[in-house]
Amino acid sequence: MEMKGKLGVFLSKIKNESGEYEILQLLEKSLDTTNPEKGEVPIKLLGFGEISLVFEILSDKTKNLAFKRLPIFDSEEQVNKHINGYNEYNRLLNDDLQIEVPPSDAAWVYADKKMKKISLYCIQDKISQPESIGNKIIHQVGIDDVKNLILIIMRETKKVWKFNKSNVDNGKQIGLDGQISNWVVKNFDPKDPHVTIDSKLVYIDTSTPMFRINGEDAMEGILFLKSAPFFLRWILKLFFLDEVLDRYYDWREVIIDLIANFHKEQLPEMIPDLLNVVNEFFVSEAKEFNIEPITLKEIDKYYKNDKMIWVLFQNFRRFDRFLKKIFRKKYDFYLPDKIKR
């Protein structure tokens, strides 16, 4: 993907002759994952995931860029494979599927003196209007606008499964995490907040290269488990990993997750109307896929199970961080305060 605008300027300014990113090396060295905004390099926290921390570096050189830190790699070979997959995933979405994604690039640095740990930084243009992100929009507009948002998300996700349906024979399949916080509405005006069926979207969660060629994942599945406590990883790998990965390649499961998110966003009253939108879409604009209607019972059951797993997993991670602290080892991941779900 060709680099344009601020991102290209950033790369030309900050990349030194040896190809290293000095400011990221300094950040990695001084980062305290308990209080990430209090390190030697000033940053502003923008978000987080299970294995990632998303932030802006408060510097003129890096103004208006978003960095996603993934401290999960053990070798140059492993991180370079991921970067290749990341670049290809962006290309597939943007060029082949016409799902717009932000300009992107990646850089990595060693995370320890022994050079046995590597942190990857996925870099994108920062969203200039935070209120235009889906999970912010749904709290600013009425139900009709939210229904429009879900409809245009359905149309974007259809591009993925239309591609998959036509590429079964050649073994190429694309996955997607369709949750509401991964979509940005272009030209959204928070002073006059509306979403129409003609609004355009940008998909921003591309750091996990979700595509398969002949059944082989572009991203090593075991990397998903790096944030799990060491004493849980073998259990998760044995019983849950394949199920979790497969979910992103099942359109119906992706949409269940999308709608169940409205429980987490404290907007459960919207769910019945949104279910009507997605089920009507399946029978009208996607009837060739023969997808069974999604029920309210399924949504509630899915979310109840997801919430239970999240709370349990976070508690185990806190215990793991406590053990690391006792043994004076660095805990690589960011743990948020308790989130209302």
Residues 120-142 have pLDDT tens digits of 999 999 999 999 999 999 999 99
When the pLDDT of each residue in the chain is averaged and rounded to a whole number, the result is: 90
pLDDT class for 341, splitting at 50, 70, 90?
low
Question: If you classify domain 18-125 with CATH, what class do you get?
Answer: alpha beta
Instruction: Tell me the pLDDT tens digit for each residue of 229-265.
Output: 888 888 888 888 888 899 999 999 999 999 999 999 9
Two structure tokens written together for 185: 């509405």
In the structure encoding, which two tokens stand for residue 232, read together? 């849980």
How far, in Å, CA of 271 to CA of 35, rounded? 36
- Residue 3 is predicted with a pLDDT of 37
Q: 186: exposed, middle or buried (C-beta count within 10 Å: 0-12, 13-18, 19+)?
A: exposed
Is the CB of residue 118 less than 8 Å from the CB of residue 242?
no
12 has a pLDDT exceeding 90: no
pLDDT in tens, 43-60: 999 988 877 899 999 988
Sheet holding 43-48, edge to edge: 43-48, 53-57, 65-73, 118-125, 104-110
Q: What is the mean pLDDT of residues 262-285?
A: 98
Residue 267 tokens read as: 């907007």
Condensed to tens digits (0 to 9), the pLDDT of residues 177-188 reads: 999 999 999 999
pLDDT band, very low/low/confident/very high, at 11 (cuts 50, 70, 90): very low
Residue with the bigger pLDDT between 111 and 161: it is 161
Residue 254 · residue 205 · CB < 8 Å: no
The average pLDDT across 85-93 equals: 97
Structure confidence at residue 340 (pLDDT)? 64
> What string of DSSP letters covers 120-147?
EEEEEEPPS-GGGBHHHHTTTS-HHHHH
- Say how many C-beta atoms besides its own lie within 10 A of residue 219's C-beta: 20
Q: How many CB atoms lie within 10 A of CB 116?
A: 10
State the greatest distance between any 2 C-alpha atoms of the chain, in Å, as a whole number: 58
- Residue of 134, 270, 311 lying closest to 205 (CA atoms): 134
48 - beta bridge partners? 53
CA distances from 83 to 1, 24, 105, 173, 296 (A): 13, 17, 9, 18, 39
- The percentage of the chain sitting over the pLDDT mark of 90, rounded to a whole number, equals 67
Cα 279 to Cα 251: distance, rounded to the nearest angstrom: 12
Looking at residue 50, its pLDDT comes to 74
- The predicted-structure confidence for 171-221, as pLDDT tens digits, reads as follows 999 999 999 999 999 999 999 999 999 999 999 999 999 999 999 999 888
What pTM, to 2 d.p., does this model score? Answer: 0.91
Range 32-57 burial, b when 16+ CB lie within 10 A, else e: ebeebeebebebeeebbbebbbbbbb
**CB-side exposure of 159: number of CA atoms within 13 Å?**
17
Decide if 209 contacts 168 (C-beta within 8 A).
no
How high is the pLDDT of residue 2? 38
Of 31-45, 107-121, 202-216, which one has max mean pLDDT? 202-216
pLDDT at 327: 92
Confidence check: pLDDT of 291 > 60: yes
- 249 within 8 A of 175, measured Cβ to Cβ: yes
Highest mean pLDDT out of 125-129, 151-155, 315-319, 324-328 = 151-155
